[in-house]
Chain A
Amino acid sequence: MVTIITTIRRRHMSTEPVSQHDPLALAGLMQLVSPALPIGAFAWSQGLESALELGWVDDEASLGEWLAGVLDDGLTRCELPVLARAHRAWAEGDAEALAHWNDWLQANRETRELLEEEQRLGGTLVRLLRSLDQVPVAPVMPETPGYIVAFALAARVRGVSCEDAMLGFAWAWLENQLTVACKALPLGQTSAQRLVERLRPALVAAVTEAQALEDDDLGPALPGLALASALHETQYSRLFRS
């Protein structure tokens, strides 16, 4: 296992900037994962609102289990490894790989709302990057870019390493999910911070595990979330768009 990770790291390092000692890159990552980034992430709950409605999540403990599960069976096996591949593709100017992983990820989106979320956030982030003159001419941006490929580009442009981009992405997900829970459950602010403390190490572990996965191992395994998200399409009272 250690050998695999080392090999993969080495492969990444050859083309990656090392952001650990680059304060400018760190500030760029903070910019990217800040809730103030104007892409409208706050409007989406990724099925969590439906899980609350169904009574599957109703307190701090059950929310912690839900988040740990989604991190393990969702982000670790899907978003994070695809983010790593997209980050590499931007670095290497590989438009074909970018288009492939963008398409592959969207084919894995279980429901209409989850796909919409991917496409809306991606489209908005790409527009923002264009306004900042941060979209390169080559490689070509994939058709209907999702959030993952856009996030990978934004990180790349800021000199954020692949590993840090993955951790930042996972962090933004966790913080957004907790914000959803604080609004909709509602969950207390201290409970939310307790969950952050509990899940911070899990985020780091998820990034390490995601880096070791081969292409054939990828794909989320979230049947309950998929059902909840499809039920959300007809949920009577809703605060969020997914």
Chain B
Amino acid sequence: MTDLSFPGQAASPGEGAGQTPSGGSGHRFDTRRHWAASLSLGFRDRDGRTRMTRARHHGPLRVQRPFYPETGHIPDARYAEPCHVYLLHPPGGLVSGDELRIDIEAERGAHALLTTPAATKLYRADSHGVCWGQHTHLTVRPGALLEWLPQETLCFDGARGMQSTTLDVQGDGCCVGWEVLALGRPASQLPFVSGRVEQRFALTRDGRPLWRERQPLDPMHSRFHGYWGQGGSTVQATLWAVGLTAPQAAVEALRECLPASRHWAVTQRRDVLLLRYLGDERNAAWEVCQQAWEVLRPWLSSRQASVPRIWMT
């Protein structure tokens, strides 16, 4: 009863023997087009410093060498010195048939921060309407802190796919993260008027579901413009934090520190803090998330937030 995997996640169409016309690279451009990439990272506390002790990749999904911008001894630190890692997807965007799997695990005492050097682009589906998929699985062991702070996802008109985030938290493990999604290309006057993208979140602690959410984005559906749904918004963001010792106090702190607006709101339920943004400004959504993370950092760790330099380039 605790299986929270997403439908279709295990499917790998077109991988049958002898079915790939281009000599096993997986490239084909019919309805079974498929290009899989995966990345599996593990983090451990080694003598007070978080080390990336596992880095396996398959296909065009890589990491840069980890680095340690948060040096310095912290008295009573709950975690080892944080390890910052940038995830790279050299193609820069997802097209029909792309299937990305990201699997990250933080062991006891580890503190890992993951981000990306640029926005992920989701391109228009091919003429067969083949979907892409991006599935992130975060495992946080007791006594670990994992920060999942990717740059935004830009979803172009006609894109079709599924983005799922599965969070498997154990014991007092802590996780903070976000997904920021912008639809269409407003600067080029190319709004998201066709296609279908679905975002899903499933967070369990010790196997018990604490938070589940699905956000189907279908411009042809009445919820896309209706106020109960997207209300016509082109940018949305969802930030979560789990493992806070005083979630309601953290909610109050966010309300105090962030400029009030009807485009974002924060709540907490079942020990999960949730901040949601719905509006039309990518920068506003990003700033709310980044500021919220900076406010939350001292609640999660004894270190102040250290903004990844890549965000400023």
Binding site for B on A (CB under 8 A): 51, 54, 56-57, 62, 65-66, 69-70, 72-74, 96-97, 100, 103-104, 106-115, 216, 219-231, 233-234
For the complex of A and B, 10 pairs with smallest distance between CB atoms: A230-B265, A56-B227, A107-B209, A69-B228, A230-B267, A111-B267, A216-B7, A100-B1, A219-B214, A115-B269
Pick the contact of B212 from A73, A104, A227, A231 — CB < 8 Å? A104
Complex: A109 Cα to B208 Cα, angstroms: 15
Query: 18 pairs across A/B with beta carbons < 8 Å?
Result: A51-B227, A65-B226, A69-B226, A97-B1, A107-B210, A107-B211, A112-B267, A220-B214, A222-B228, A222-B229, A223-B276, A224-B227, A226-B276, A227-B264, A227-B265, A227-B276, A229-B267, A230-B274
Q: Which residues of the other chain, B, contact A109 by a CB distance below 8 angstroms?
A: 269
**Is A233 a contact of B267 with CB atoms below 8 Å?**
yes
Secondary structure call for the B interface: strand
Q: A221-B214, A223-B215 are in contact. Are A56 and B231 (CB under 8 A)?
A: yes
Chain B, 235-264, CB within 8 A of any chain A CB:
236, 255, 262, 264
Q: Which residues of the other chain, A, contact B266 by a CB distance below 8 angstroms?
A: 230
Closest residue of chain B to A217 (Cβ to Cβ) is B7
Q: Which residues of the other chain, B, contact A97 by a CB distance below 8 angstroms?
A: 1
Q: Which residues of the other chain, A, contact B229 by a CB distance below 8 angstroms?
A: 69, 73, 221-224
B121 lies within 8 A of chain A by Cβ: no
Closest residue of chain A to B209 (Cβ to Cβ) is A107
Closest residue of chain B to A219 (Cβ to Cβ) is B214
Distance to closest chain A CB from B228 (angstroms): 4
Q: Which residues of the other chain, A, contact B210 by a CB distance below 8 angstroms?
A: 107
B278 lies within 8 A of chain A by Cβ: yes
Distance to closest chain A CB from B241 (angstroms): 14
Complex: A104 Cα to B236 Cα, angstroms: 24
Closest residue of chain A to B198 (Cβ to Cβ) is A221
Complex: A72 Cα to B203 Cα, angstroms: 25
Pick the contact of A231 from B226, B262, B268 — CB < 8 Å? B262
Q: Which residues of the other chain, B, contact A65 by a CB distance below 8 angstroms?
A: 226-227
**Is A112 a contact of B268 with CB atoms below 8 Å?**
yes
B206 lies within 8 A of chain A by Cβ: no
Q: Which residues of the other chain, B, contact A114 by a CB distance below 8 angstroms?
A: 269
Q: Which residues of the other chain, B, contact A233 by a CB distance below 8 angstroms?
A: 265, 267
B19 lies within 8 A of chain A by Cβ: no
**Is B228 a contact of A70 with CB atoms below 8 Å?**
yes
Pick the contact of A221 from B223, B227, B264, B278 — CB < 8 Å? B223
Q: Which residues of the other chain, A, contact B287 by a CB distance below 8 angstroms?
A: none
B270 lies within 8 A of chain A by Cβ: yes
